[in-house]
Amino acid sequence: MAEHADRPAYPVGLRLSGRRVVVVGGGQVAQRRLPALIAAGADIVLVSPSATASVEAMADAGEIRWERRPYADGDLTDTWYALIATDDDAANEAASAEAERTRTWCVRSDDAEAATAWTPATGRSEGVTVAVLTAGAHGRDPRHSAAVRDAIVEGLRDGSIAAPHHRTRTAGVALVGGGPGDPDLITVRGRRLLAEADVVIADRLGPRDLLDELPPHVEVIDAAKIPYGRFMAQEAINNALIEHAKAGKAVVRLKGGDPFVFGRGMEEAQALAAEGIPCTVVPGISSSISVPGAAGIPVTHRGVAHEFTVVSGHVAPDDERSLVDWEALARLRGTLVLLMAVDKIGAIARALIEHGRSPETPVALVQEGTTAAQRRVDATLATVAERASAEGVRPPAVIVIGDVVAVGPATAPTAR
Ligand SMILES: C[S@@+](CC[C@H](N)C(=O)[O-])C[C@H]1O[C@@H](n2cnc3c(N)ncnc32)[C@H](O)[C@@H]1O
**What would the pLDDT profile of 76-96 be if each residue is shown by its tens digit?**
999 999 999 999 999 999 999
Closest ligand 1 atom to 255 CA: 6
Q: Measure the CA–CA gap between 243 and 338, rounded to whole angstroms.
A: 35
**Using alpha carbons only, how large is the chain's radius of gyration in Å?**
28
Domain with 218, as residue range(s), is: 173-282
Q: What is the pLDDT of residue 415?
A: 47
Clarify whether residues 82 and 154 are in a common domain: no
Q: What is the pLDDT of residue 93?
A: 96
Mean pLDDT of 124-147: 80
Indicate the range of 12-16, 61-65, 213-217, 377-381 predicted with least confidence. 213-217
Ligand 1 centroid distance, CA of 256 (Å): 7
Clarify whether residues 295 and 402 are in a common domain: yes
Clarify whether residues 264 and 368 are in a common domain: no
For the chain, count helices (H), then strands (E): 12, 17
Residue 138 has pLDDT above 80, yes or no: no
Mean pLDDT of 334-359: 97
Clarify whether residues 319 and 256 are in a common domain: no
Q: How many residues does the chain have?
A: 416
Clarify whether residues 57 and 25 are in a common domain: yes
Q: Which of 103, 134, 158 is the last residue of a domain?
A: 158
Q: Which residue from 209, 264, 398, 399 has its CB within 8 A of the most atoms of ligand 1, so it is best to mutate?
A: 398
Q: What is the pLDDT of residue 213?
A: 84
207 lines ligand 1 (CB under 6 A): no
Nearest CA to ligand 1 atom 22: 397
Mean pLDDT of 118-147: 82
Nearest CA to ligand 1 atom 15: 287
Clarify whether residues 185 and 83 are in a common domain: no
Q: Do 292 and 299 form a contact (C-beta atoms < 8 A)? A: yes
**Ordered alpha helix ranges (H), 197-232:** 209-212
Closest ligand 1 atom to 371 CA: 19
Q: What is the pLDDT of residue 142?
A: 82
| pLDDT, tens digit (0-9, with 9 covering 90-100), for 217-251 | 999 999 988 888 888 899 999 999 999 999 999 99
Nearest CA to ligand 1 atom 7: 257
Dump strand ranges (E) for 128-170. Answer: 128-132
Q: Which long-range contacts (CB under 8 A, 24 or more apart) does 90-97 make?
A: 91/24, 91/25, 92/24, 95/24, 95/71
Residue 414 has pLDDT above 90, yes or no: no
Q: Measure the CA–CA gap between 327 and 266, rounded to whole angstroms.
A: 28
Q: What is the pLDDT of residue 170?
A: 60
Mean pLDDT of 185-191: 94
Residues with catalytic annotation? Answer: 203, 225
330 lines ligand 1 (CB under 6 A): no
Q: Measure the CA–CA gap between 265 and 261, rounded to whole angstroms.
A: 8
Clarify whether residues 294 and 394 are in a common domain: yes
Q: Do 394 and 342 form a contact (C-beta atoms < 8 A)? A: yes
Mean pLDDT of 182-195: 93
In a domain, 411, yes or no: no
Clarify whether residues 111 and 11 are in a common domain: yes
Q: Do 179 and 231 form a contact (C-beta atoms < 8 A)? A: no
In a domain, 416, yes or no: no
Q: Measure the CA–CA gap between 182 and 338, rounded to whole angstroms.
A: 20
Number of domains forming the structure of the chain:
4
Task: Enumerate residues 6+ apart whose C-beta is below 8 A from 21.
Answer: 37, 42, 43, 44, 45, 79, 80, 81, 82, 83
| Residue 261 pLDDT class (50, 70, 90 cuts) | very high
Clarify whether residues 208 and 299 are in a common domain: no
